[in-house]
Structure 1
Amino acid sequence: MSSSFIESTVAVSGEPAVELFVARSAHPAGRAMLVIHGGPDWDHSYLRKPLDRLAGRHQLIMPDLRGCGRSTRGLADDQYTPAAATEDLVALLNALGLRQVDVLGFSYGGLIAQRLALAAPERVRRLIIASSGILPVPPDAYDGWPDRAERLAAEAAVWADPSLSGPALTRAAAVASARADVRRPQALADHLDRLSRVRFTAEWLRPLRAGILPAARPEDSARRLAAAGHPLLLLHGRQDLTFPAHLVERAAKLIPSARAVIIEEAGHMAHVDQPQEWLDAVARFLA
């Protein structure tokens, strides 16, 4: 898995001491793209493909967030916050000597990417929010969706299982949600193979369950991103059961610099369902 990437750890905080595990594409390129994974108790590895095909044009910077994958774990629960994760990424760019980067944030990472673009707008050249959301998701967002409850039932059962805890719970939930996250049956095996390689943690789960994890979505994000003016791609699967596609299309209308690309026959893991179409949208936007 690491053959086309250089892997290292980079210190991003002294108090508390935090090092991020970072995979960087091995071949130099003119521009760099920071890729922010979701979860958050996952790692970056499930996003390596198909993005690795961009390595000749972009230097890919793929960190594991604090508490995730091979980055620093064991911090106090109040040290796992979206604000701290955003500060880590700014410190990472500084440590790597990167003045400005393109940014792709996936799912929960898309919320962190919005925070990064708003906190340090001069560091972001172009912004991709993939399988994520800018507008809040209302309780009735999926009313009338015929098979959503059935597809989510297996994951709900895992979260309710008192015999599971820690990383075993996080992994089991991810596997159980596979049929909800991937739309095309023929893509399911690929997704499950990726999940088998993810180094799951449960560091962020602790503050979530304790009720102390702050919301990741920036307040009034659509208005603030419109004011910031970054070129913005909202890249989404039509059958995403986590963030509704119709809210993505609505957000694009609120942000003059944004455009939405909605991929048909693709779920939350749109890059697994339709890898070529997904990658082509990214490449066109970054050109």
Structure 2
Amino acid sequence: MAETAKTQFVTADNGVKFAYRRFGKASDVPIVHHIHFRGSMEFWDPLLVNTIAQYREVILFDNAGTGQSSGNVPTTFKGWASDLAAFIKALGLKQVDLFGFSMGGIAVLQTALDYPELVRKLVIAGARASVPEKGPVEGIIWPQEQNPPEYTTKLAYAVTAEEGKEGLKYACFPETDRGEAAFNEYWARISTRTAEPLRLDLLPMDPQGNNQYVALVDALTPQPNNSFDRLGELKIPVLVLNGDADMVVPTSHSYELLKKVDNAQLILYPRSSHGFLWQYAKRVGEDADRFLDSVDFD
């Protein structure tokens, strides 16, 4: 399981040596997980991924320039998608399911658009598409809702491990006793890994975290052929997940995905923010498993 899976390495055709972990029940189509801003695979909640792993093989990985992988973080999400596709092919996999959280959600969405032959089903958690090239857009509340900047800037400005921990709590959990307790439980769970020494430092901002931020700015700049304007190309089943009060990626953007992707369904989790998938880790894992096994939206 996540706590005991050993880190492995594979070098892809793009020259990147990717770090990854594989565990769970053997399955024809494994599910690959892509993590958030400044994160590595160390930050995946064991309760979440172990719940999913009861029924299928789970693959966690560090994208180029993050965690234990070599290379540099691309400054566009098309670059992130290219890296993810290279990693999948390096493992010899013909098709996978993808689960992306936050910036990782933007990346897996772009991957499904650019490499549709590789992706069977898609789970997008706490993420959004890019902005449309032109607006307003029919059926979408306009202007699009913007997130309060302090939730991401606190995470971006964190330098020490303790500041990173506090930044994650502030950005991802409600400022309530319930939110405080949920964060502490999440942090305790990711601290139980025994296979190797813990690596709970966030990705340094200079230069790789800054590259991630540049990729986000690029995605939120109106331009031709961005992901929002291509959402109609998605024909695979898509599960969109979010908290009902996400302060990092406003929940309204999840409704946009539901509206624009023909084969999408949406689940919102109550009294939660960006870290809903940690606050409701077991429930999110169970919902993901039901979606991945279902034929209702195939």
Q: Same fold (TM over 0.5)?
A: yes
- Deviation for aligned residue 1:72: 0.9
Matched, 1:232 2:238: yes
Give secondary structure in 1 for the equivalent of 2:33. Answer: strand
How do residues 68-217 of structure 1 correspond to structure 2 at under 5 angstroms?
Answer: 68-73=66-71, 75=72, 79-134=74-129, 136=131, 141=145, 152=150, 156=153, 168=159, 172-173=163-164, 175-183=166-174, 184-193=179-188, 194=190, 197-202=199-204, 203-207=207-211, 215-216=218-219
User: Can you give the 5+ residue segments of structure 2 that lack an aligned partner in the other structure?
Assistant: 133-141, 192-197, 294-298
Distance change >3 Å, CA 226–CA 99, structure 1 → 2 = same
Bigger RCO of structures 1 and 2 (CA < 8 A, at least 6 apart): 2
> Using the alignment, how far apart are the partners of 2:253 and 2:169 within structure 1?
23
Structure 2 residue aligned with 1:263: 269
Give secondary structure in 2 for the equivalent of 1:204. Answer: helix
Residue identity in the other structure for 2:256: R
Q: Is the 8 A contact 1:13 1:19 kept in 2?
A: no
Give secondary structure in 2 for the equivalent of 1:256. Answer: coil
> Using the alignment, how far apart are the partners of 1:57 and 1:267 within structure 2?
27
> Which of these residues, 246, 256, 271, is aligned with residue 250 of structure 1?
256
Structure 2 residue aligned with 1:58: 56
Q: Is the 8 A contact 1:175 1:192 kept in 2?
A: no
Tell me the percent identity: 21
Distance change >3 Å, CA 99–CA 48, structure 1 → 2 = farther
> Using the alignment, how far apart are the partners of 1:259 and 1:283 within structure 2?
14
> Using the alignment, how far apart are the partners of 2:154 and 2:58 within structure 1?
37
Give secondary structure in 2 for the equivalent of 1:31. Answer: coil
Give secondary structure in 2 for the equivalent of 1:111. Answer: helix
Q: CA RMSD in A?
A: 3.2
> Which of these residues, 3, 27, 30, is aligned with residue 29 of structure 1?
27
- Deviation for aligned residue 1:157: 5.9
Distance change >3 Å, CA 212–CA 30, structure 1 → 2 = closer
Q: Could you give the per-residue CA deviations for residues 135-171 of structure 1, whole angstroms, max 9, x where no partner exists? A: 549887269xxxx68xx47x746756xxx7xxx3687
> How many residues are treated as equivalent by the alignment?
267
> Using the alignment, how far apart are the partners of 2:276 and 2:154 within structure 1?
24
> Using the alignment, how far apart are the partners of 2:218 and 2:23 within structure 1?
32
Distance change >3 Å, CA 221–CA 186, structure 1 → 2 = same
User: Can you give the 5+ residue segments of structure 1 that lack an aligned partner in the other structure?
Assistant: none
Structure 2 residue aligned with 1:43: 40
Q: Is the 8 A contact 1:68 1:200 kept in 2?
A: no
> Using the alignment, how far apart are the partners of 2:283 and 2:3 within structure 1?
25
> Using the alignment, how far apart are the partners of 1:5 and 1:208 within structure 2?
27
- Deviation for aligned residue 1:177: 4.2
Residue identity in the other structure for 2:218: A
Compare 102-111 and 265-274 and name the one that shifted more: 265-274
> Using the alignment, how far apart are the partners of 1:208 and 1:275 within structure 2?
26
Normalised by the length of structure 1, the TM-score is 0.79
Q: Is the 8 A contact 1:126 1:286 kept in 2?
A: yes
- Deviation for aligned residue 1:214: 6.2
> Using the alignment, how far apart are the partners of 1:158 and 1:36 within structure 2?
18
Normalised by the length of structure 2, the TM-score is 0.77
> Using the alignment, how far apart are the partners of 2:22 and 2:155 within structure 1?
34
Q: Is the 8 A contact 1:66 1:80 kept in 2?
A: no
Distance change >3 Å, CA 216–CA 60, structure 1 → 2 = farther
Residue identity in the other structure for 1:46: F
Residue identity in the other structure for 1:11: T
